[in-house]
Each structure stands twice: as structure tokens, then as C-alpha cells.
Structure 1
Amino acid sequence: MSEHGPRRPVRTGALAAALTAALVLLCCTGGAGAFFLTELGGDAAEQLSPASMECTGDFEVDVTGKMPRFAEYGERQLRNAAVIIKVGQEMRVPPRGWVIAVATAMQESRLLNLANSTVGESRDIPNEGIGADHDSLGLFQQRASWGTVAQRMDPEYASRKFYEKLLDLPDWEKLSLTVAAQRVQISAFPDAYAKHEELAARIVDALAGGAARTALIAGQEVCDAAAGGEIAASGWTAPIPGGVGSGFRTASRPGHNGVDIAAPKGTDIRVAATGRVLVSRCDPDRRGRLSCDEDGWPGKGGCGWFVDVLHAQGIITRYCHLVDRPLVAVGDTVQAGEVIGDVGSSGNSSGPHLHFEVHVDGDRSSRGAIDPVPFMRSKGAPLKGAG
């Protein structure tokens, strides 16, 4: 139904790097593409993959059993993450809150129960290292107003206090991870939390039976159903609720760098995850014309009206063939589930549909494209009609 994206793909690794330096969106571990595709990364690739786990919010976390392996974090740190999740379960916090809490602790303490120099001199209060802040303590680097020294150094108490403040935020589940974490923590580096979201979701999946793939629908945690505005605990949603027709780089269309999702003209297109708009424009057709304000046809060429959005860890999503000029502009910050335009048939198209692409490494060209179907399934936001 569509060509594989813009006729003139621009290599934007430098742009992505510049943007993320300002936004602190890219993962700090490096090697985002190769690492990301292992699902659990590094040695953890031998462990359960989120896409193969039973997806449930009722999975009871074991804080004393064997921990999965992650290249970035050791057993002690993962056990602390398990405590954070278990406290969230006991408080009946939805899994989205677990992801936010784990990501926050990743930023604040590297998932270590850190003391300060004064506390570190005391043998009465066990700790796992000395933090950089003179008056902040524990997994979440909480200050004196959060409790006594002993309380803040107790991972269960610290986790409970974090969740209490999170739950006090109006509509906290609709907020981006960065905004939610910042409103709880009041950090001097408010944009720093976002870079941990993808890995935090994978840790939650590994420790809690794929729970980051659940979405809260009608008050119930439902697995693999994030679409139509519902956001999975991972922070992702399907862009439209239609079914996949033409797939990624099929035998008949090896240059098709995304998937086509059928939907009536005018259907809302929602951004799949929180990010920053990189591109929002009309893609020229084969003749170099900017003719997006009309329905296209097979062989016309071009993506029509389209949008590219940069997400955490250098992931880029692309949305093609919009019916009108997109509702967002370059540089806009967009929240997961936000409407960015409507389904149309502009550009190289035989009928109304959304051409949807996923790219890694901040690479908008065909070299960065990956199959959106398994990617979105791993996020708990599967594209309907895709097995």
C-alpha cells in the first residue's frame, strides 16, 4: 500500500545525538541498537524474554530467589529493584508505577542503597556505597523531610514513600516518566529519568512476569492491549487500532521498511511513546512535487504528510500518509498516546492506511529500520493482525 518512507532519507545520527544531549533521552550505556535487540541485553539474553513471558500484573516478585542477569546491573541491584516492585504490588500500584519507581532509582542511586559520608562511618546502618549528595540517602536519595536516617536507608520504607508521593499526583499514569518522577523527586536534573525507561521496563518484565506489557483498561490490568490511547506500563501504545496488512520487507516488497495498518480516513494517529518530533512535513513525490494535499496512488512516490519522533535509547518511529498537515511541529515534545494527525492516503498509497516504521540508533535511513511487529509486541502494544 505504501513505499518504504521518504524518498530522500537523511542520515540524522548527529541530529539525534545533539537532541538527546539536550533532552537526555538516549541511553547512557551506548550501543543502543545492538544492545536493544537482545530484549534483555548482554548476558540477560539467556534469560526469559519479555515477549515470551506470561504477561500478568499478578505475578508475585521473589526478592530472595535467583535474579536474572543484566549487563548493566548486578544481583544486589536487581534485588533492590525486586524490593521496589514488591512494595508496589503490596500497595496495589499499577505496573506503570513500578517502571517509574525503578527508573527513578536507577537515576538516583544506580539501584544501590547509598549512604552519605556521615552515615557511611556508622557500622549500625548497613549501606551499599556512598552517594554524592551530603544529605540524601537510600535508593531514591531522599532528604530528611522523607524520614529518619534509618527509614530512608530501608529500601521498603523508601519505596513506599516514593509510591505515596507518586499516587498523590493527579492522573500520574498519564504523565511521561520524566514528568512523574520529577514531580515526586524535585530533582536538579529533571530530564535525566527518561533515559532509563526502556531498561526499567525490561527489568520489571524480567522480575514480574512481563508486567510492563500490561495496560490499565477499565480498571483492570490487561496484557498486550495498549491501543486507542491506553498506555502499557512500558510507556508504549499502538499508533492506531487497525490490523497489519503489508508487512516489513516481504519477499514481494523487500524495500518496505515498515508495516501498513489499515484504517478509515480520519482515524486518529497516536504517537507510540513519549519523545521529541524530528520531522513534520510533506515528502516530495517522484517528480519532486510537494503534492500531499491530495490522495496519492501506487507509484506516485513519497511518504506524503509524515512525522518522525525520537524516543529514549535512540528509537525513532515514523508515521506516513497523513490526510493533512501534522498537528505537531519539529521540536515539539509529545506524550505517549497524543494525537499527531489523522490517517489518510497522501503520497505513494493505494488507499487510507498508516505506514508505520521503527528505527534504531537514531538512524532515520533504511539502515536503521527494524520490524515493528516484534518490537511493538515486546512493549505490550502489539499491532493487530500481526501474529
Structure 2
Amino acid sequence: MTASRGPALRRPVRVGVIATMLTGVLLLLCCTGGTAAFFLSGLGGDAEDGDNLAGWGCGPVRPVDIVGELPRFAEYGDAQVRNAAIIIKVGQDMGVPSRGWVIALATAMQESALRNLANRAEPESLSLPNEGVGADHDSLGLFQQRPGWGSVAERLTPSYAARKFYEKLVKVRSWQRRPLTVVAQQVQVSAYPDAYAKHEELASKLVNALAGGAARTVEINGKAVCDAAERGEIAASGWTAPMPGDVGSGFRTASRPSHHGVDIGAAKGTEIRAAAAGRVLVADCDPDNRNRRDCNVDGYPDKGGCGWYVDLLHAGGYITRYCHMVVQPRVTVHQIVAAGDVIGQVGSSGNSSGPHLHFEVHERNNRKSSGAVDPVPFMRERGAPLRAAE
């Protein structure tokens, strides 16, 4: 299979904040035109419960200690980190899946910077324990909740405020798969709904640090399973593997320094899923080296182009690219997709000599090759590993 270097920027794209097992061996023509073996299997064993996750790359998911010494973060002081621990602990006590902890933290980070804020519009609050004075109407506490959420004293009690947030969160339809911004907005009804997205990555890091890597886990039958997003589940970080399978041709190898993504082998027609919630930037046929748009036929080496492909924009300015689809993508430009939504099918269009998914990750809203990063460590860190063929 031969993958393109990625489509050229043929037109300006407005980038804003928005914020799935085959078993056996397939012998496929790889991206250098040679042959590579792709061992399509699971993660190498059955996942255990939260006490036995260290070997899965994220450590044991543990109850949060809100009393003892907590890790330090450059972005927050001790009191703020302790408030984060309280939010996570309440979620754990309520049995809310760990994705909910990430959403709750990102929300409180936006609303109060994790500070328990009083408000002069609620004079009683000034005499109660607080960590500063806010100025948003009569909003109080970590989540800036207004009177309908509870009394002044209740809203200034971090554990109460977190519990009320979770109670409403779990009633939001498909909340574990939808964009964090959309879910948080349905709970909070904020005047600035897009603002939550920028906190998702740091919120995941807080959850990992305070709960033993929990943002890299998924919930299966009530158990926390680490690094299992390859099976189609959504990790608490909000990411999932775009499809099952092993990585064959890697990122910018010595023999292929301009290969700005990785290739995942799969049979033609295998469904490709959005690696995270996001907005469709591009869903198009990438012209070949002769500027021909013939993506409905299989490609060949040195043809050039991604064939049928999709670019998705995710929270934090990350962009994922999915190349060589067999037919026109199932999504359209500007469409909002949830993590795990099917966006297309594996094919061999464009610069390809066999069916596979060419998958790229870009940072800083940069669709060019200069913005590309290695998808393997990127996805592993988010609990959605791409398996490297052995």
C-alpha cells in the first residue's frame, strides 16, 4: 500500500475551536510497495479490573485520596488540585464512568479555575469558606451554580456541587461519546459554550495523575479496563482507535521520511471511525499527481493523493486524517461527529497499492506536514493505542 504525504492545502480552511477485532494474519502490499504482515488481534489478553492495570500502560485506577499529599501542577495551586480530587472522588463514589470525571473537571476549570468562589450578589457566601470572589450574577462555587442548584451553603460545598453536576450529566443522551463542549453546555447552559473544549487535555492529565491513569481507561461491565479503545470503546480521554488492526508502515521511517502518518491494514470495506469527537473539515477526493479526481477506482504506487479522505478537527486544535477510503466518505463538511462514529470505509483509493487506512494526527490546527506527529505514542497516551506489528 502506498500512502500519500497528505493532501495539499488547495483552499483555505477555517479552523476554530469545537471542540473500532479482526483475528489472524493479513499479507498486504504496504506503503513502500513491498509486502508486510499485519497481525490483527486483540491487545494480547483479557483486561483485568482496576487493581491489575499496571501492565496495560496506565497503572492501577485507584480511589482518589482527598486528604493526603497530592501531585503538583504548574497550572494550579494545592487548593485547586484538591478541589479536582474532590470532584473525581465524588464521581467515583457515585459510580460515574471516568469520562465523566474529565468532563466535570474541564467544566470547573472553565467556570472557576477550580476555585470555590463566593459572590457579592449572595452576601451570605462571603461569610462562608471560599477561595475568592466571583462576579457572574449570583453564581457560586466550583461550577458557578445559580440558586436553582441549591442553597448558598450547598453550592459552596465542593462535594455537593460536584454531585449535582454529575446527576445532570448522566441524564445527557450519549454523553460519553459526544463532544465535551456539547455535553458540558447541556449541563451548565453557559453563555460561552465553546470555552470548555480547551480544558479537555489538561483535565485528562489531572485525572491520570490523581486516579492512576484513569483517563486512559474505558468502562466495561462496570470495570475500568485500560487501553481497550481498540475494541471500539471510548476511553475517558474521549479518544478511540479508528479501527482494529496493526500498524504496518510507520511514521517518518528511515526509508520513508515523508510518510506523515501510519498505515493500519484491514480488508476493503472495514468501517473507519472518528478517533474523537469533532467537526468535519474536509470530506473529499484528493486529486492525484495529474490533478485527476478518480477516487472511485483503486490506486497504485506513485499515483499521489489521499484518495477519498476525511479531516476532523478536535478539541485542543488536534486534527486527524483518514485516507484511501473505498467510496465517498459518510460525513460532510462542518458536520459534528461523536467519537466512534463511522465516517467511511477502508479502501485503496489514491496513492495506494492495497486496502488500508492511512491515519495521521496533526497538532496546533496545522493540516500541513509540519503539524503532523507520530500517531502511535499520541494515541497510546490517550488510552486508544494503535498496535505495532511484531
* Same fold (TM > 0.5): yes
Equivalent AA in structure 2 for residue 55 of structure 1: G
- How many Å separate the matches in 2 of 1:121 and 1:78? 26
DSSP-derived class of the 2:328 partner: coil
> Is the contact made by 2:261 and 2:359 (CA closer than 8 Å) also made in structure 1?
yes
> Is the contact made by 1:51 and 1:210 (CA closer than 8 Å) also made in structure 2?
no
Match of 1:214 among 217, 229, 254: 217
- How many Å separate the matches in 2 of 1:135 and 1:123? 12
RMSD (CA atoms):
2.2
DSSP-derived class of the 1:180 partner: helix
- How many Å separate the matches in 1 of 2:318 and 2:271? 22
Confirm whether residue 364 of structure 1 aligns to residue 363 of structure 2.
no
Deviation at 1:276, TM superposition (A): 1.2
DSSP-derived class of the 1:103 partner: helix
Aligned pairs, number? 356
Larger deviation, residues 114-123 vs 274-283? 114-123
> Is the contact made by 1:11 and 1:363 (CA closer than 8 Å) also made in structure 2?
no
Confirm whether residue 200 of structure 1 aligns to residue 199 of structure 2.
no
Match of 1:101 among 82, 100, 104: 104
> Is the contact made by 1:266 and 1:344 (CA closer than 8 Å) also made in structure 2?
yes
- Aligned residue in 1 for 2:2: 2
- How many Å separate the matches in 1 of 2:102 and 2:55? 17
Deviation at 1:290, TM superposition (A): 0.8
- How many Å separate the matches in 1 of 2:106 and 2:234? 17
Larger deviation, residues 313-322 vs 129-138? 129-138
Q: Deviations over 1:293-314 (max 9, x none)?
A: 1011112111111111111111
Query: Percent identity, aligned pairs only?
Result: 64
- How many Å separate the matches in 2 of 1:111 and 1:326? 41
Match of 1:55 among 39, 52, 59: 59
> Is the contact made by 1:7 and 1:285 (CA closer than 8 Å) also made in structure 2?
no
Q: Deviations over 1:328-368 (max 9, x none)?
A: 11111111111110000001111110000001111111111
- Aligned residue in 1 for 2:81: 78
- Aligned residue in 2 for 1:354: 357
Q: Deviations over 1:2-38 (max 9, x none)?
A: 33433524696x732xx23xx4x4xxxxxxxxxxxxx
Deviation at 1:288, TM superposition (A): 1.5
- How many Å separate the matches in 2 of 1:205 and 1:353? 33
- Aligned residue in 2 for 1:40: none
TM-score, L = length of structure 1: 0.87
> Is the contact made by 1:4 and 1:258 (CA closer than 8 Å) also made in structure 2?
no
Equivalent AA in structure 2 for residue 243 of structure 1: D
> Is the contact made by 1:56 and 1:214 (CA closer than 8 Å) also made in structure 2?
no
Q: Deviations over 1:119-159 (max 9, x none)?
A: 56766301111112131100011111211111110101111
Match of 1:269 among 244, 248, 272: 272
Q: Deviations over 1:34-87 (max 9, x none)?
A: xxxxxxxxxxxxxxxx99964343x12122333333332222211110110011
- CA spacing shift, 1:3–1:174, aligned 2, 3 Å: closer
- Aligned residue in 2 for 1:167: 170
Runs of 4+ residues deviating >6 angstroms: 50-53
- How many Å separate the matches in 1 of 2:283 and 2:5? 13
Equivalent AA in structure 2 for residue 15 of structure 1: R
- How many Å separate the matches in 2 of 1:130 and 1:124? 11
Equivalent AA in structure 2 for residue 80 of structure 1: N
Match of 1:376 among 365, 372, 379: 379
Match of 1:345 among 325, 343, 348: 348
Q: Which has the higher strand share?
A: 2
Deviation at 1:228, TM superposition (A): 4.5
DSSP-derived class of the 2:361 partner: strand
DSSP-derived class of the 1:349 partner: coil
TM-score, L = length of structure 2: 0.86
- How many Å separate the matches in 2 of 1:120 and 1:128? 15
Deviation at 1:386, TM superposition (A): 5.8
Equivalent AA in structure 2 for residue 73 of structure 1: Y
Structure 2 gaps of 5+ residues are 20-53
Equivalent AA in structure 2 for residue 101 of structure 1: A
DSSP-derived class of the 2:73 partner: coil
> Is the contact made by 2:119 and 2:126 (CA closer than 8 Å) also made in structure 1?
no
- CA spacing shift, 1:209–1:386, aligned 2, 3 Å: farther
- Aligned residue in 2 for 1:183: 186
DSSP-derived class of the 2:134 partner: coil
- How many Å separate the matches in 2 of 1:363 and 1:174? 25
- Aligned residue in 2 for 1:296: 299
